[in-house]
A and B are shown apart, each in its own frame.
Chain A
Amino acid sequence: MEILVFVVCMGAVTYLPRLLPFYFVDVDRIPAKLRLFLSFIPYAALGALLFPGSMGAVSGKPLVSALGIAAAVIAAWFNESIILTVLLSVIATFILLSAGLS
């Protein structure tokens, strides 16, 4: 039940920014500064999500987590496919875990 309330709230804050502009906003009249601020949010969010959270990606195993993320960064540097990057990172993590690293 609690999770449903949470999901509905998440749905509302996702839906409203998609819906309201159709009725109220003239895109040419959004101030340039605000537009710039809004355009930076995704990058800031990614940075804040990655650090320090990614160091605990594999619970209780910081070294494996850090190396697994490093593998993802290297993979993402050389290819643009999200799926391939994620797959390579999982494989690297699997190998590290199999080797008994923590």
Chain B
Amino acid sequence: MKKPGIKEGVVAGVPVFAGYFPIAVTFGLLAVSVKMTLAGTFCFSAIVFAGASQFMGLTMLGSGAGSGEIVLAAFLLNFRHFLMSASLSSRASFNKKLIPFIAFGITDETFSVASMRAGGVSERFLLGLNFTAYAGWVSGTVAGFAAGNFLPAIVQESISICLYAMFAALLVPAVKKSLKAGAIALAAGFINSVLAYFSLCGAGWGIVVSILFASTAGMILFGEE
């Protein structure tokens, strides 16, 4: 079978571009609301290129968390990519020189598109796919930042709900499919609320501790099948 090339990769990346652009616009808008500069916002999306971690980073910055806590929380959150890369690396043999570029663009969505693809993947296909997604992410971020500076105050205030609405939008469908996911999310939210109510630690550490406790509890309670 002929291996898919860069063009097939770009075509497969178009829906991801379309999905990323508006989310990145949201990120740009939010960056304005926590008083980030254009350069900082651009670098954030261009260097990190990870939706969930970036949104979490902004949320935690907004709540006054320190950089160390945010970076550790992001590290935990990104551990799932470890599994995705491991899975992808077992599906084809890759040119060692291209691996650093392919690895940079692995996200939940590009991984899903690549994994679900019948007929296999190639390094050129992955490069096309990942960088189409990347283009959507970075351009959307800049567009959102620009828009954020022109909107009236009440609209900007309304937009501050965006981030949490997005977390809800990600979580609710997952809970509908798996009650375990819901139980773990509730447990983490409960632990974090208790920690916050009694001011037991900074907001950032609360998130880190809650993630570790709830995931461990899930592993112990749901580890039987």
Contacts and interface: CB of A to CB of B under 8 A. Distances in A.
Does B associate with A? Answer: yes
Interface of A: 2-11, 13-15, 17-23, 25-28, 30, 32-33, 35-54, 56-59, 65, 68-69, 71-73, 75-77, 80-83, 85-86, 89-91, 93-94, 97-98
Interface of B: 22-23, 26, 36-37, 40, 43-44, 47-50, 52-54, 56-57, 59, 63, 67, 70-90, 94, 99-100, 102-104, 106, 154-155, 157-174, 176, 180-182, 184-193, 196-197, 203, 206-207, 210-211, 214-216, 218-219, 222-223
Contacts of B48: 7, 10-11, 14
A27 B184 contact: no
Contacts of A11: 47-48
Chain A contact residues: over half helix, strand or loop, or mixed? helix
B77 A36 contact: no
Given A9-B71, A49-B56, A73 B168 contact: yes
Contacts of A50: 164, 167-168, 171, 185, 189
Contact of B40 (A4, A68, A97): A4
B54 to A, nearest CB: 8
A38 B37 contact: no
Nearest to A11: B47
A22 B89 contact: yes
B190 A51 contact: yes
Given A14-B78, A53-B59, A57-B160, A45 B52 contact: yes
A58 B87 CA distance: 40
A15 B201 CA distance: 28
B161 A52 contact: no
Contact of A39 (B36, B80, B166, B196): B80
6 contacts: A6-B67, A6-B70, A37-B215, A53-B203, A59-B160, A76-B171
B100 A25 contact: no
Contacts of B99: 19, 22-23
A91 B196 CA distance: 29
Nearest to A69: B164
A10 B188 contact: no
Contacts of B26: 86
B131 to A, nearest CB: 14
A40 B162 CA distance: 24
A23 to B, nearest CB: 8
- Between B23, B37, B71, the greatest number of chain A beta carbons within 10 A of the residue's beta carbon is seen for B71
B80 A3 contact: no
A54 to B, nearest CB: 4
B190 to A, nearest CB: 7
Contact of A94 (B36, B158, B189): B158
A33 to B, nearest CB: 6
Given A48-B210, A50-B171, A53-B164, A3 B71 contact: no
B23 A83 contact: yes
Nearest to A65: B161
